[in-house]
């Protein structure tokens, strides 16, 4: 059976690219999101897909049946289950879309496959309990995971909750537990292994991506700094470049030993008895010599395994690009799950 897919909460099309990467037979029949900017990016890259700019709460069984789908790929809003979102769970208005889907699933006998992604922590929520109950009522068998791209040797930590469901109960691995690693991985294409593999040419990286002097002075000690040979980065969130701590890594083009020497000099400078004005000048020079910069949107997209053909319309700002990427999925990891779901 070829997959006839509806992509819900589709964003910039991460699930779309994951399906393409999986090489499973089928097609994306339609995608739906309420975010108009995300939809513009989706259409810009996938003009052949019917992108519906609408709230998923407008869906009903009749509409879903008319679309002639047999598979749903979805990534509902994660904010109701995050610290920054105050973990309001189903009391958060942004949970209403998923709750509406839960109400429809028991009647959707024509849907045979579902893959859902959300933030780590969703598995402890009331929304999770309601979703699992809806799957059971709908006659689905399911498997749950908490996985990170690092398990595929991709240098980016991004733990996420995943749930695959289908009407065939003959999974080749057991349920009744959450999997924290891939139970089966098919032969893969070569993945990126170090930061060097995703960097843009220095000629293409303008001064706009350098960490500004004020941020360096105040926040350098809480930054997650990586170099050419680093094999991991922090999870990039939609607040990247807007906030420093916990939103993603920054890049230092120096060799690790040279970078460490600069930090040793900074530590020594704090103990120096020279004049305050002289210390400020030296500190500023040392911080600038680190040449720290943010990863560009293209580099973040590469870490998330979007293909080189993926791009943004010219009018989309870098701030918007980071927000959209932060809300998306790792394409390679999801493609492996689609294979597990189907095969």
Per-residue pLDDT band for 75 (boundaries 50, 70, 90) equals: very high
Name the token pair of 320.
């918007």
DSSP characters for 299-327? HHHHHTT--TT----TTS-HHHHHHHHHT
pLDDT the model gives residue 306? 97
Q: How confident is the model at residue 172 (pLDDT cuts 50, 70, 90)?
A: confident
DSSP state of 11: T
CA 165, 170, 172, 174 dihedral sign is positive
pLDDT band at 185 (very low <50, low <70, confident <90, very high): low
* Position 189 pLDDT exceeds 80: no
Q: What's the pLDDT at 85?
A: 61
Mean pLDDT confidence for 211-225: 94
Confidence of residue 90 (pLDDT cuts 50, 70, 90): confident
Percent of the chain with pLDDT over 90: 78
Query: pLDDT digits over 282-311, tens only?
Result: 999 999 999 999 999 999 999 999 999 999
Give the CA distances from residue 309 to residues 44, 240, 306, 334, in Å, rounded to whole numbers and listed in that order.
11, 23, 8, 18
Q: What is the Cα–Cα distance from 72 to 179, expressed in whole angstroms?
A: 21
Contacts (Cβ under 8 Å, ≥6 apart) of 129: none
Summarize pLDDT for 20-73 with one digit per residue, the tens: 999 999 999 999 999 999 999 999 999 999 999 999 999 999 999 999 999 999
Judged against a pLDDT cut of 80, whether residue 143 lies above it is answered with yes
Per the model's pLDDT, the better-predicted residue between 88 and 11 turns out to be 11
What's the whole-number average pLDDT of the chain? 91
Instruction: Please list, in sequence order, all residues whose beta carbon lies within 8 angstroms of the beta carbon of residue 70, skipping any fewer than 6 positions away.
Output: 1, 3, 4, 110, 111, 112, 113
- Which domains occur in the chain, in start order? 3-185+329-342 (3.40.50.150), 201-295 (3.90.120.10)
Tokens of 42: 């989706």
Q: Is the pLDDT of residue 188 over 60?
A: no
How far apart CA 51 and CA 56 sit, in angstroms, is: 12
The region of weakest confidence among 34-43, 202-211, 248-257, 315-324 is: 202-211
Which distant-in-sequence residues (6+ apart) come within 8 Å of 338 by Cβ? 18, 19, 22, 24, 73, 115
Per-residue pLDDT at 320: 97
The set of catalytic residues is 78
| The pLDDT of residue 208 | 87
Q: How far apart are the first and last CA of the chain?
A: 11
**Which pLDDT value is given to residue 186?**
57
Residue-wise pLDDT tens digits, 93-123: 888 999 999 999 999 999 999 999 999 999 9
Cα 215 from Cα 85, distance rounded (Å): 25
Going through the chain in order, the beta strands assigned E by DSSP cover 3-8, 26-33, 50-53, 71-74, 113-119, 141-147, 160-166, 178-179, 225-226, 250-251, 293-294
Cβ(217)–Cβ(283) under 8 Å? yes
pLDDT at 270: 73
């Amino acid at each position: 059976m070829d997959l006839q897919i509806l992509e819900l909460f589709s964003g910039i099309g991460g699930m779309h690219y994951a399906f393409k990467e999986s090489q499973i037979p089928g097609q994306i029949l339609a995608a739906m999101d309420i975010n108009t900017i995300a939809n513009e990016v989706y259409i810009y890259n996938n003009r052949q897909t019917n992108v519906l700019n609408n709230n998923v709460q407008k869906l009903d069984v009749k509409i879903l049946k008319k679309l002639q789908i047999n598979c749903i790929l979805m990534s509902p809003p994660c904010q109701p289950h995050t610290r920054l979102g105050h973990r309001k769970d189903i009391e958060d208005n942004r949970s209403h879309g998923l709750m509406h889907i839960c109400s429809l699933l028991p009647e959707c006998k024509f849907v045979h496959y579902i893959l859902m992604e959300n933030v780590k922590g969703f598995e402890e929520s009331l929304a999770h309990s309601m979703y699992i109950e809806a799957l059971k009522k709908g006659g689905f068998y399911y498997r749950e995971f908490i996985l990170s791209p690092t398990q595929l040797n991709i240098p980016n930590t991004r733990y996420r909750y995943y749930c695959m469901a289908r009407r065939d109960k003959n999974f080749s691995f057991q349920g009744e537990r959450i999997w924290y690693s891939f139970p089966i991985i098919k032969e893969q294409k070569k993945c990126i292994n170090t930061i060097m593999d995703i960097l843009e040419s220095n000629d293409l990286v303008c001064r706009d991506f350098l960490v500004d002097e004020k941020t360096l002075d105040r926040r350098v000690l809480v930054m997650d700094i990586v170099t050419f040979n680093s094999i991991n980065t922090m999870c990039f969130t939609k607040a990247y470049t807007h906030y420093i701590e916990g939103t993603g890594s920054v890049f230092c083009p120096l060799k690790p030993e040279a970078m460490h020497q600069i930090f040793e000099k900074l530590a020594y400078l704090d103990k120096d008895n020279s004049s305050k004005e002289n210390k400020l000048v030296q500190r500023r020079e040392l911080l600038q010599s680190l040449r720290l910069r943010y990863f560009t949107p293209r580099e973040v997209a590469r870490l998330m395994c979007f293909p080189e053909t993926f791009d943004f319309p010219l009018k989309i700002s870098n701030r918007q690009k980071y927000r959209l990427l932060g809300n998306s999925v790792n394409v390679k990891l999801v493609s492996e799950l689609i294979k597990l779901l189907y095969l």
